[in-house]
Amino acid sequence: MAVAVRSVGEVCREARRASRTLASTPTSVKDAALEAIALALEERMAEILRANELDMQAGREAEIGEALLDRLALDEGRVRAIAGAVRKIAALGDPVGEVIDGHRLPNGLDVRKVRVPLGVVAVVYEARPNVTIDAAALCVKSGNAIVLRGSSTAAHSNEALARIAAEAAVSAGLPEGSVSLVAGGGREELAELATQRENVDLIIPRGGESLKEALQAVATVPVIYAASGNCHVYVDAGADLEMAERIVINAKTQRPGVCNAAETLLVHADAATEFVPRIASALSAQGVLLRADPAALELAAPVAGALAEPASEEDFATEYLGPTLAVGIVDSVEEAIEHVGRYGSGHSEAIVTSDAASARAFQLGVDAACVYVNASTRFTDGGEFGMGAEIGNSTQKLHARGPIGLRELCTFKYLVEGDGQIRA
């Protein structure tokens, strides 16, 4: 099967062969394959959970931390949710063949700009076994072959999930190599995958800055970086403080180990006297440590039970992925925008405000994939955006930005039809 231990080159060559068939595979066949994958996940639940428990045991022994263990963990509910996401993707419209634009030239040529698959997509990811299926389902639906390369932390989980998906896809009529897993190896294997220019059209890394840097050093295949999320919530002067508290608590604590969780809270000086003690109490009650600038620390530290300590410059540039939040006080929305520009990673940023001018200034001034007004950064997610799932969130600007879904896994070609025209 596609998940057997083979060389990177062999896996990628088979994926290239599969991609040529997938590009013209009817929607009905792709949807049937996705339903087969979803059903196989449910029917082989025990197999998946046994594999995941091996990874969880190893993770606990290696003391990888609660945030990574949370990302790694699977249970019946999570596996059923993964299967549900596959079915949601199947129910979406097929992007392949969509006419993006079309017109007739004065010489009678009919020109259509049509969406087509990229071809072979490689996804490199860390301790998130759900990505195995999310990425595979999105690539199948968009007519791409996928080569998966997970981390050793989730090796057993990824192997089981990829094998099950590959077998189900082939049983439903897709070619061998449609879903493949590169298993084992280290940085050398990653470098080999990142240089498969003849057989891989795009690499999407989903992980931290170290993974991004490793790929930047060697990749010759085009890369879309779905990298870190140093996300901010800014509470403006005159904001509804009850709303602000709900949003900050959700953005920070609902699932702190993910890339769309808030890592920095900025508060306008006019709201700080009332809001900082209030939010310090609420966050501390949930075990969140505040790393506060001097003005914020002066307001937070006296709060009963507050977990607060001085912030360093580095704290505002850190993606904690855990129960720590940097806090700063600013004098204007412009200063908040400048702060986000200096420290943000281009992922997701939010303003809580009752002032339309402040909201508009923040929307226009902040350079990020997703900018929220009066809502939590936690909504930056392909599933929440109606995409069924996502391969990751792109923090760059070319081709794809924000959640990477079906259309972001496509390119386009021009189809030109005539009746004998020649160029003079």
What is the pLDDT at residue 185? Answer: 57
Kindly state the average pLDDT of the residues 174-188. 86
How far apart CA 125 and CA 328 sit, in angstroms, is: 32
* 80 CB burial (10 A radius; 0-12, 13-18, 19+): middle
Mean residue pLDDT across the chain: 94
Write the CA distances from 224 to 31, 198, 201, 355, 389, integer angstroms. 26, 18, 11, 35, 17
Q: Report the amino acid identity of residue 304.
A: A
Q: Is pLDDT of 183 > 80?
A: no
pLDDT exceeds cutoff 90 at 366: yes
- Residue by residue, what is the 3-state secondary structure of 212-228? HHHHHHHCCCCECCECC
Q: What is the pLDDT of residue 399?
A: 82
DSSP structural state of residue 346: S
Question: Residue ranges of the alpha helices (H) in 62-129?
Answer: 66-72, 76-91
Q: Distance between CA atoms of 281 and 353, rounded to whole angstroms?
A: 21
Determine the average pLDDT of the residues in 81-110: 96
Query: Which pLDDT belongs to residue 184?
Result: 60
Looking at residue 135, its pLDDT comes to 95
Give me the domains of the chain, ranges plus CATH numbers. Answer: 8-226+404-417 (3.40.605.10), 231-379 (3.40.309.10)
| pLDDT for the residue 2 | 46
Q: Between these two residues, 216 and 92, which has the higher pLDDT value?
A: 92
Work out the number of other CB atoms within 10 angstroms of the CB of residue 175. Answer: 18
Residue 212 pLDDT level (bands cut at 50, 70, 90):
confident
Range in 44-53, 315-324, 386-395 with the lowest mean pLDDT = 386-395
